[in-house]
Amino acid sequence: MALPAAVPGEPGDGRTGPQGLLPVPNALREVLPDGGLRRGSAVSVAGGDTGLLLALAAGVRETEGGWAAAVGLPDLGLAAAEGYGLDLRRLLVADDPGPHWAEVVSVLAGAVELVMLRPDGPVPPKLTARLAAVLRRSGCVLLVAGPWPGAALRLGVRSGRWFGLGDGHGQLAGRQVEVVAEGRGSAVRGRTARLWLPDERGEVRPLQASTLQKRPLQASPLQERPDRAGLPQEQLRPATEPVAPRIAAVV
């Protein structure tokens, strides 16, 4: 598999703000024990909620490097990713890595600051430990759509409802959710926040009075925002045509 050959900067060069954290949108900071995603860690998104996954990844645009990758997520919508704030010019996509997803993640971890992943089946403990070492060495954040053994942080959407549909007509205009975070150390007791994910403008913000007047559509706790665009089935490609990064480390 051919990979690009340049990366803007090296891991650990201070691009991610204080205390080695990758930024997240303001509305999500209060639910995270450190106020951001700790570099070199794995974070599990329960149920693989697409909206929450993209919202957590969107903060990568605030860093100097700003590169991210999506592995094993063929149904991820590019329009949805851009709507949450990801820069498509700095998004690498491996739609269908198959059984080689771990090797793809290992290589990309040295070239980007954040990887979104849906594993191809159960993850053996030895593989989890090997990838944990890769993350610690590179400083990359791994956002996993679903369970991940030993994840430092687990987040999920406990309840939610869509707004915008009337009696058989209308358009989805926003989703109210309750986000829950729990994990190890300072996160063990869990934190919650009620958010628009997204609101009528496609933004993530705390739940407050809104101008939305249309009837709510009840949704299951883990119902995902409908994707607005699919991704072609290619082994690895940039979402658009940016200047390609250099792979900093290959495992």
Q: CA 120 to CA 100: how far, in whole Å?
A: 9
What is the average pLDDT across 13-27?
68
Quick: pLDDT tens for 154-166: 998 887 676 766 6
Pairing of strands 68-71, 91-94: parallel
Q: Which two three-digit tokens encode residue 207?
A: 């739940």
Task: Tell me the pLDDT band of 233, cut-offs 50, 70 and 90.
Answer: very low
Quick: pLDDT tens for 155-204: 988 876 767 666 566 566 677 888 988 887 655 567 888 887 867 777 78
Handedness of CA 127, 128, 133, 138 (dihedral sign): positive
- Upstream peptide bond of 198 is cis (omega within 30 degrees of 0): yes
Which DSSP symbol is given to 8?
S
Which of 54-58, 61-65, 240-244 has the weakest average pLDDT? 240-244
Say if residue 133's pLDDT is above 90. yes
Share of the chain above pLDDT 90, in %: 40
Output the pTM of the full model: 0.73
Mean pLDDT, the chain, rounded, equals 76
